[in-house]
Structure 1
Amino acid sequence: MGLLTSLLPGLRDLRAPLASGLLWLGVLVAIFAPHSDRILRDTPEGAAIKELLASGSGTATVPLLVSVAFLIGSAANTLSQLTARLIGSVGLDLLAKLEKLSLSRFRFKKGAAWLPIRLFANLVTARKSLQPISLTARQLIVDAVQNIFGRSKAPGSVSLIYPIDSVLDSLSYSAAHLAVAAPTLYQEYDRLRSESEFRVAVVPPMLTLAILLPLEHSPYIILFTAVGCCVLLAQAVQQVRAANNILANAVYLDHATLPNIQSVADAFKDLVPQPETDGQWIGALIAILDHKGLFDEANAATGELADHSERILEDAAWYLREHDRPQFRYLFTLLKEKDDPHQAELVARLLDAERFSDLVAEDRE
């Protein structure tokens, strides 16, 4: 049983590149078969290859074709995954912008003339169901972050200001721990992940083959293939969501870890002296992120801090001034750009402190 558990992930990883590679080989055959006489040079080696292919000897050609198909599929799958992520990101951003146009009010319009608009409005309002992370998984991750920070004595405000999107983007890194802590759960996660990758991998060559093959009633075949490809892509999205739900549940139940969050929580425990106010804890969070090289997360948290209440903002600003000067200057820049009258007094005090600090530095020089 242990051997089978170890083999299954590898076998699943072979399936997608092999299947898509064979389909892409079919595409290449459809393109170059009419010109096969001109592909190989008229040399002894070219004649030997033609003779080998004409003989149909499976002993030599089948392993060769399978190997070539795997290599082509591996390269094509990487491009397919990147393209799918790019299209998905752009598409979701576009739907989010269209959602602001209040298209949902057209969902209940009656009459055949409104049918295309109703369908489009339903697609826009269904944007959340197309995201790879469900709302349930997102909430579980938020709760898990709160639990991890809570065990290090950090207040709840720290977990609220942490950029949760960065945690969701790195959620897949928790799978390695899940494979050790809960192998059965990991097998289900890996199955869903590989099923999604398989569907994304075979869609482009299937659609290309349907377009290139000289078949009767070609427009109908292309249409049916396109519909089938859309169904496969929809299934892929749902399987990614299901796989991420498993990871989110595992993280919430402590079957898997969030490496960056755990690293920050461990750093909280080593702080001497410990922060006393919510603002100081938030300042400590930003300083730890910055010192650990998580610059995007630190900048995002500082951006959130700039919109916080004045009391928390002031405590965090003074803490950053003492422990993380780059983020303090970034926060100071954000506050000056906002030009909020409610924060004018704080900005003036911070500016005076910076001027005093510069004078002291000049005197020392």
Structure 2
Amino acid sequence: MLASILPGVRQVRAPFAAGSLWFAVLWLLLEPSWSRMAESGFVAGVNGLLGAFSVLGQGIVIGFVVYFLGSFSTFLFSTALGRLIQSTRTAWRPLSGLSRNADIALKRIASNGRRDIERASGGAGLAVDRVLEGAAADAPRALPAKTRPLSRRRAPVMDGPSATGTLPDLEEKQERQIADGVLRDLPFIANTQLLGQREAVYSAVDRIEAEVEFRIALIPPVIGLSIAIAVVVRATPLLAVGAVLVGILAAIGLMLDAVRRRTQSNELILLLIQYRSISAPSITDLEARARELKDRTTGAVLARQLERYARAVGNYFGKLALVPQSGGFALLAEAHEAARVAHLETGRMQQALEAAHVSAAELDSAAVPALLDRVLAQWSAINHGVTVSAPAVAIPDVVGMSGEQLSAMMSDARQRFEDFEGDVSKIVERFRAEEKATAERKQTGEATPAEALPRRDDAAPAGAP
């Protein structure tokens, strides 16, 4: 029970402590004026309202005000101050959030990750470069960098029997890119991989992060309190200057202590990744991309595109099925968006079939979306008599169909969809069998007979239009 209560207490502690300090700041600055205006006006009304409450009620009201001030302060300042610890563009070591042990672990993680990607891609450095370039091209351009490049933190730390103090330029560049991706993963790993799986480690990381948030939350009100004290004792300049200096030193101390604790958290997570107790999502994604790039055989490409096509067309079916149940422009807009995606994947599906030497006359991936477009056009006309067109999709202008006709058309489209899936799956299996046989013949040194190639004349679907 205590374990379940403590996380909630830690979440309340930071805003309540910050709010208490801000309340003290307001009291120091406003108390003289408050006392002078206590007999009339707004201040008198507030005093009268508080007087109507018991001591407990007054404490609850003041506690609410304190918590509100602290929450607002945390919202305004904590995110910006927290980013100073994660800064990626400064080489100033005290705010890097990485210890030397964490640097060593990060270097080893990047090196191991590069080798894992090499194995997954079945190639060497250039294959890894293609994987990393593809990942960089798919990354959102508008997002600000969250981590400092590894090269700007310090010189690479080398270890092991092959350590020479330097890396080949290509490998060094790849490991820097992998390391930057791992650092971007750090804020999310606790919730995505530790929570529910490694409760003891998650609790330790959560406690450390709570201490970081607590210290960061105190920095603005501590500075504000020192300034308020300086205003109160401004008649004595020496005391005023001393109060401000003490506040600044306290804020610096809080920030450095927050950095120290964040460093402990990062070091713990990086060591877990290094010893493969947990995995870095960015490296896992790169390995998956490498395996996909490696498997570029015709059968594999066709199978992947069939999966995407089936998902998009299936979503189109689902959106259309919802329209008659509720109608309205919202569902129609979703159906038109599903149509756009389905047509996009249909074009890619046809390209994959053509690459496999299967023509549209044999297998037409556009036949099913064309039927669904007619159903969508009818529902668009029924709803307020307006036809909404999806971007880059020409919806046929078909009206006057009954509900039974629409249902029959949907059933026909579903049957054609199932037939198309089955026919393409058969072609995929033929290619995979031939590719497997070709690989076995290469191992034994046998020639590839021309008659063993898969035939296309028997691939026409039974339900083709």
Instruction: Tell me which protein shows more helix as a share of its residues.
Output: 1
Q: CA deviation at 1:66?
A: 1.9
Q: 1:74 to 1:170 in 2, by over 3 A?
A: farther
The one-letter code of the counterpart of 1:209 is L
Q: CA deviation at 1:89?
A: 7.4
Aligned to 2:24: 26
Which ranges of structure 1 fall in alignment gaps of 5 or more residues?
A: 97-126, 276-365
Q: How many residues align?
A: 240
Q: Distance in 2 between matches of 1:202 and 1:56?
A: 30
Q: CA deviation at 1:55?
A: 6.6
Q: Secondary structure at the match of 2:98?
A: coil
Aligned to 1:249: 271
- Conserved? CA contact 1:146–1:156, under 8 Å: no
Aligned to 1:183: 199
Q: Distance in 1 between matches of 2:39 and 2:46?
A: 8
Q: CA deviation at 1:151?
A: 4.4
- Conserved? CA contact 2:178–2:283, under 8 Å: no
Aligned to 1:66: 63
* Alignment partner of 1:261 is 2:283: yes
Q: CA deviation at 1:201?
A: 1.1
1:1-365 correspondence to structure 2 within 5 Å: 3-36=1-34, 42=41, 48-54=45-51, 57-85=54-82, 93=90, 96=91, 127-148=92-113, 150-151=115-116, 153-154=119-120, 157=125, 158=128, 159-160=174-175, 162-176=177-191, 177-213=193-229, 214-215=232-233, 217-273=239-295
Q: Distance in 2 between matches of 1:236 and 1:189?
A: 13
Cα deviation per residue 1:318-338 (whole Å; 9 max; x = unaligned)? xxxxxxxxxxxxxxxxxxxxx
Q: Secondary structure at the match of 1:133?
A: coil
Q: Distance in 1 between matches of 2:268 and 2:109?
A: 14
Q: 1:42 to 1:131 in 2, by over 3 A?
A: same
**Bigger RCO (CA 8 Å, 6+ sep):** 1
Q: 1:188 to 1:89 in 2, by over 3 A?
A: closer
Q: 1:231 to 1:142 in 2, by over 3 A?
A: same
Q: Distance in 2 between matches of 1:39 and 1:254?
A: 66
Aligned to 2:348: none
Q: CA deviation at 1:6?
A: 3.4
Q: Distance in 2 between matches of 1:132 and 1:5?
A: 28
Q: Distance in 2 between matches of 1:40 and 1:246?
A: 59
Q: 1:200 to 1:161 in 2, by over 3 A?
A: closer
Q: Distance in 2 between matches of 1:243 and 1:136?
A: 12
TM-score when scaled to structure 2? 0.45
Q: CA deviation at 1:41?
A: 8.6
- Conserved? CA contact 2:181–2:282, under 8 Å: no
Give the RMSD, CA atoms, in angstroms: 3.4
Cα deviation per residue 1:8-28 (whole Å; 9 max; x = unaligned)? 332212111110011112222
Q: Secondary structure at the match of 1:210?
A: helix
| Bigger CA radius of gyration | 2
Percent of pairs with identical residues: 24
Of the structure 1 ranges 232-241 and 61-70, higher mean CA displacement relative to structure 2 is found in 61-70
Q: Distance in 2 between matches of 1:166 and 1:228?
A: 34
- Conserved? CA contact 1:20–1:205, under 8 Å: yes
Q: CA deviation at 1:191?
A: 1.7
Cα deviation per residue 1:153-194 (whole Å; 9 max; x = unaligned)? 246743526352243133111001123232212222222211
Q: Distance in 2 between matches of 1:172 and 1:7?
A: 23
Q: Distance in 2 between matches of 1:83 and 1:268?
A: 36
The one-letter code of the counterpart of 1:170 is D
Q: CA deviation at 1:79?
A: 2.6
Cα deviation per residue 1:86-117 (whole Å; 9 max; x = unaligned)? 65678973xx4xxxxxxxxxxxxxxxxxxxxx
Aligned to 1:359: none
The one-letter code of the counterpart of 2:95 is L
- Conserved? CA contact 1:178–1:255, under 8 Å: no
Of the structure 1 ranges 252-261 and 19-28, higher mean CA displacement relative to structure 2 is found in 252-261
Q: Distance in 1 between matches of 2:69 and 2:262?
A: 24
- Conserved? CA contact 2:106–2:270, under 8 Å: yes
- Conserved? CA contact 1:18–1:73, under 8 Å: yes
Q: Distance in 2 between matches of 1:245 and 1:171?
A: 10
Q: CA deviation at 1:40?
A: 11
